[in-house]
Amino acid sequence: MAKFAVVFGTRPEAIKMAPVVQAMRENPQWELRVICTGQHREMLDQVLEVFQIRPDYDLSIMKHGQTLEDITVRVLQGVGAIFRDWRPDLVLVHGDTTTAFAAALAAFYERIPIAHVEAGLRTDDLSNPFPEEANRRLTDALATIHFAPTEQAADNVRREVRGSRDIYVTGNTVIDALLAVVRDEYQFRTPALADLDFSCPVLVVTVHRRENWGAPLVGICESLRRIVAEHHCQIVVAMHSNPRLQAVFRERLSGVEHIHLIPAPDYKEFANLMKRSKLLLTDSGGLQEEAPALGVPVLVLREHTERPEGVAAGTCRVVGTDPERIVAHVGELLTKKEAYEAMARAVNPYGDGRAAQRICRILAQKYTG
């Protein structure tokens, strides 16, 4: 019986690996164990509940004020101990988090093969986003099997990992997860969302990247004030749990009419909010893939993106954090129907909701029989 370990620690990782876990559990010839590092405790638990995943190991490494070094060391030691006690045939990690890199490194030290889900994303700037760009490059260098979401991502791996033949284009599992939870009849539980008037345009905003802390976030807040002053719309800011970010949002935007500050909703709540929104403004990576699957245009609040396929397809625009640029792009999409429809109707390049099935078929060819 083939033995597999799936490792994740953050909410985005759990969302994107949940379809893989669910699909792998359908194979009676596999022994699957889920290892959760608990890097983002509360946000992570919400996702585990939605997808009914109970980890076999929970390291609970989250501590107040922890540094990237702290996370790396705790994951490396905790996951490494599990691998020495129970040796899987393959370790699956996801994306660009510190958990993914440290878990891959732990597997490498134990000479256990690694599969990287969402391999090959690049901005070609090690400092942007930080530390994610380094994490994903290092994880790809350690991995034995690469599951790339697009052909361009696969080409990135082929260029960097010379001689590797185990590179597969599968689409992104985040689309699998998204389509499993959105519903036309969904009823919001968050009071601010349940009372929201969706008859006028609703813009959703998320910001959390380290490179946007400080002055860039202040500029984003300024642009949001200007947008509601110039256009008939409402803005929902789904605030990250980081108190440092919440403090800036509350200081700059509390009491501004038509701007609603809410704690980040759970995954199902947020997915259905996004489905009903007019426009998404975000510095998130995964949301650049999710929103277009729902026909929602994305303005990327960063200077670089590791998902250029969305920009090329017309589903996303990279607008940075300068208030003038943000206001101008939002204004164009709210006032020019042709510009909006071109983005809303563009074909999402990140998959069709069957990425997890493709991954399992590939693994079955390698590990079953």
Q: What is the pLDDT of residues 6-40, one digit of tens each?
A: 999 988 899 999 999 999 999 999 999 999 998 76
Query: What is the structure's pLDDT at 40?
Result: 67
Question: Which residues are known catalytic residues?
Answer: 96, 118, 132, 208, 210, 240
Q: What is the pLDDT, as a whole number, of residue 285? A: 86
Segment 191-201 mean pLDDT: 93
- Token pair recorded at residue 184: 């036309």
The pLDDT-based confidence of 369 (bands split at 50, 70, 90) is low
- Encode pLDDT of 59-109 as tens digits: 988 777 789 999 999 999 999 999 999 999 999 999 999 999 999 999 999
- 144 pLDDT band, cuts 50/70/90, is very high
Residue 118: which of 156, 153, 159 has the closest Cα?
153
* Amino acid 46: pLDDT: 84
Q: What is the pTM of this model?
A: 0.86
% residues pLDDT > 70 (the chain): 99
**Positive or negative: CA dihedral 181, 182, 183, 187:** positive
pLDDT of residue 262: 96
In order of their start, the domains of the chain are 2-172+352-367 (3.40.50.2000), 191-344 (3.40.50.2000)
Using pLDDT thresholds of 50, 70 and 90, give the confidence band for residue 202.
very high
**pLDDT one-digit tens code per residue, 171-181:** 999 999 999 99
The structure tokens 């509350």 sit at 250
Identify the pLDDT of residue 162. 78
Which residue blocks in the chain are alpha helix, DSSP H?
11-24, 41-50, 68-85, 98-109, 132-142, 151-160, 173-181, 191-194, 215-230, 243-253, 267-276, 287-293, 308-313, 323-335, 337-344, 355-367
Number of H helices, E strands in the chain: 16, 13
150, 170 contact by CB (below 8 A): no
Is the pLDDT at 332 greater than 80? The verdict is yes
